[in-house]
Structure 1
Amino acid sequence: MDRVADELSQYLLDRFRRTPPDGRLLVGIAGVPASGKSTLARLIVERVNKAAQSSSTDSVAAENALSAPVNEGTSATPVAVYVGLDGWHLTRAQLDAMPDPKLAHDRRGAHWTFDGEEYVAFIRALRKPVDLSHSTDTSSGSQIVYAPSFSHEKKDPVFDSIAIYPHHRLVIIEGLYTFLNIPPWSAAAELLDERWWVEIGEEEAERRLVARHVKTGVAKDMEEAIWRSRENDAPNGRFIRENMMQPTRVIRSVDDPTYSV
């Protein structure tokens, strides 16, 4: 996974050179549950920002390579940021209000248990021109776009917990439905510059998922973990495969339990 992340990070840095100064590079990473997409996304963000920091001693080179302002003598401002789609989960209260609350909770993770409209609004906000003159000014909120995160402790979203500043010109969005080809999701998928699919076999995905569900406490035992994998995760994965917009790149998942998220 490290080698793959290195190669993809370099590819994105090269693309960054061709990104307009007032624009962003938006990358969606999708895959079935346990394909390793979130770990890959985080590795890429880490490597891109490390490259920005290492070039901070030469502000001219940094600006040419990354199209981001750098203050000489200080660490480079991060140019990349990670956003997980899990933040757009509907709350448990919203699931309770559905016609069949038990089904809604059992199928939490299906595309209809997410707030697709708000996700589309978020992507559209990222497409607005950025003003780099305020890139390091965190006191003004006019240029900041906020995203929710997900609390596994509370089992609910945490709203406006991720701030995307003007200096965040590379945004990696990871999740099951980042480029789903049905409304309202398709409107966001069309606005992405890159759509990366992380490929993994269904049997391997189930093996990883069962172990993860037990380890994280999502399931109380192996039997429940297998049920969740087969009755919820696997159907969601098949649905994504059948209804996703054409990926711009397919990445083979690495068989490493460390990256099974």
Structure 2
Amino acid sequence: MDASIQRLSELIKHHARERRILVALAGPPGAGKSTLADSLKKALSAENIQTQVVPMDGFHLDDAILVERGLRPRKGAPKTYDVAGLKVLLERLRSETASDVFYPVFDRATESSRAAADKVGPEHRVVIVEGNYLLLDEPVWRDIAALFDHTIMVTAPLAELQRRLVQRWLNHDYSADEAQEKVAGNDLLNAELVVTRSLAADLTIED
């Protein structure tokens, strides 16, 4: 992974000195996107390139809306996100480089998003947007993919993703049976969708 981070840093930093760069860091749940995003941010910051990580999860639809639409059991699937809102944010990040741009942040403790909970400022030359479906080859999502300067896919074999996802739920005090049910009924379906229906990335990393 260290070699991949160095390669990514070299790829991005030259252009970032000229203008703000938007980077898509896509991949299935459990692939290690957040870890890679944080490591890349540190590597770029060490080169004096101010970087902000913007998780896509802030655009989760609220549980009340998901319940109303019968989608609560599939929370995390593409149709449970405000994809149009995400597109507007990306367009603003490209055009409004001289002012603060605020964005929502998902709070896992309450399972809800907090509006305008963080910001990208004029000092941020690189914005890493991290999320499952940033390269999804479906309507509207394709428009999002076109807004990035660099695209990265981080992935892992499905069996390994399943193991990590089960462990994630076990870490949240779910029983073994409950964890397996959560993964089989939702998480693994989402992972398979990302693996099979994403546009080609500029760079693919298998963790």
TM-score normalised per structure 2: 0.94
Aligned partners of 1:15 and 1:231: how far apart in 2? 42
* 1:92-134 per-position Cα deviation (integer Å, ceiling 9, x unaligned): 1111221x2xxx1111000001110100001111110523xxx
Answer with 1 or 2: which has the greater Rg: 1
Which letter maps to 2:80? T
Aligned partners of 2:200 and 2:24: how far apart in 1? 12
Name 1:41's counterpart in structure 2: 37
* 1:60-101 per-position Cα deviation (integer Å, ceiling 9, x unaligned): xxxxxx5xxxxxxxxxxxx21001111111111111221x2x
Aligned partners of 2:172 and 2:44: how far apart in 1? 29
The structure carrying a bigger strand percent of its residues is: 2
Establish whether residue 29 from structure 1 lines up as the match of residue 25 from structure 2: yes
Which letter maps to 1:252? E
Contact 2:60–2:81 (Cα < 8 Å) also in 1: yes
Establish whether residue 251 from structure 1 lines up as the match of residue 182 from structure 2: no
Establish whether residue 175 from structure 1 lines up as the match of residue 146 from structure 2: no
1:46-125 aligned at under 5 Å gives the runs 46-52=42-48, 66=49, 79-98=50-69, 100=70, 104-125=71-92
Contact 2:153–2:203 (Cα < 8 Å) also in 1: yes
Identical amino acids, percent of aligned pairs: 29
Contact 2:158–2:192 (Cα < 8 Å) also in 1: no
Aligned partners of 2:126 and 2:118: how far apart in 1? 14
* 1:113-164 per-position Cα deviation (integer Å, ceiling 9, x unaligned): 1110100001111110523xxxxxxxxxxx2111111111111011111111
Name 1:212's counterpart in structure 2: 168
Aligned partners of 1:206 and 1:200: how far apart in 2? 10
* 1:143-188 per-position Cα deviation (integer Å, ceiling 9, x unaligned): 2111111111111011111111111120000110112222222211
Establish whether residue 188 from structure 1 lines up as the match of residue 184 from structure 2: no
Aligned partners of 2:7 and 2:150: how far apart in 1? 15
**Runs (4+) of structure 1 moved beyond 6 Å?**
none
Cα gap change, 1:201 to 1:11, in 2 (>3 Å): same
Which letter maps to 2:43? R
Q: What SS class does the counterpart of residue 210 from structure 1 fall into? A: helix
Q: What's the RMSD between the two structures over aligned residues?
A: 1.5
TM-score normalised per structure 1: 0.75
Which letter maps to 1:178? L
Equivalent residue for 1:160, pick from 116, 126, 131: 116
Aligned partners of 1:216 and 1:2: how far apart in 2? 29
| Unmatched runs of 5 consecutive residues or more in structure 2 | none
Aligned partners of 1:243 and 1:106: how far apart in 2? 21
